[in-house]
Amino acid sequence: MQLDRIVNFHKTIGDKTRIQIIALLKDGALHGQAIAGKLGLTPPTISYHITKLREIDVIYQRRDKNTIYFHLNEKKLELLAQAIIKIGGEKELDSFKVDDEEKFKVIKNFLDANGNLKSIPAQRKKKLIILEHLVKGLEKGRTYSEKEINEHIKQFHDDYATIRREFIICQFMFRQNGEYELNPKEMWLI
């Protein structure tokens, strides 16, 4: 979905009167004067808001005699509401989605029998799998000193400086005033 469509949806829906109209129409169609009455506004004001809601396609109408009934298009509403959740992100992530079997193979190849890291993978995908593995022993939500991180990494590899840096670059951890902490976003569900 294109950006402007999403912006417009939220701009339109970001108004108390219009959300009230949506809530009213969830219980069934109503005509303009009924809405005006329930909300304590004049018919022209309702016309104005209905036009905006129709522009983003969440309202349609049926006429019966002189009265026009406005209906909510719940399907559309739902679709548009969820668009913001899906926007951006995913840039290249998909191509990095990886199943457990593949992870297992990479870990087996790069660790020796004692669990020591033989080398740091050059290929990004493999590197991420290894970093995820190395980070597993750390506790979520607590902060670590740089020294503690170094000690942790040394269990696997001597070059703790490089790996510590990779933790930050690849966003497995973040640093805050010299303290280290696991990224709580668990976004590396590669």
Please choose, from the candidates 71, 79, 78, the residue with its C-alpha nearest in 3D space to the C-alpha of residue 26: 71
Residues forming a β-bridge with 68? 63
From the CA atom positions of the chain, what is the Rg in Å? 27
Binding segment (CB under 7 A) for DNA, from list 62-70, 75-83, 113-121, 135-143: 62-70
In the bound state with a copy of itself, the residue whose beta carbon lies nearer, of 7 and 161, is 7
Report the alpha-carbon distance of residue 142 to residue 180 in Å, rounded. 9
In the bound state with a copy of itself, the residue whose beta carbon lies nearer, of 91 and 108, is 91
User: Considering the rule CB under 7 A, would residue 28 count as an interface residue with DNA?
Assistant: no
- With CB under 8 A as the contact rule, the residue among 87, 109, 115, 142 that binds a copy of itself is 87
Supply the minimum distance, in Å, between the C-beta of residue 61 and DNA: 7
Question: What CA–CA distances, in Å, run from 82 to 8, 77, 133?
Answer: 14, 9, 33
In the bound state with DNA, the residue whose beta carbon lies nearer, of 15 and 158, is 15
User: Considering the rule CB under 8 A, would residue 95 count as an interface residue with a copy of itself?
Assistant: no
Question: What CA–CA distances, in Å, run from 45 to 18, 22, 60?
Answer: 11, 15, 18
38-57 residues near DNA, rule: CB under 7 A: 41-52
User: Considering the rule CB under 8 A, would residue 189 count as an interface residue with a copy of itself?
Assistant: no
Token output for 60 = 């349609």
Please, what is the Cα angle at 23 between 17 and 24, to 5 degrees? 90
In the bound state with DNA, the residue whose beta carbon lies nearer, of 49 and 152, is 49
8 A C-beta contact, residue 133 and residue 120:
no
Supply the minimum distance, in Å, between the C-beta of residue 151 and DNA: 23
67 binds, among DNA, a copy of itself, none (CB under 5 to 8 A by kind): DNA
- With CB under 7 A as the contact rule, the residue among 1, 67, 118, 151 that binds DNA is 67
8 A C-beta contact, residue 46 and residue 83:
no
Supply the minimum distance, in Å, between the C-beta of residue 7 and DNA: 10
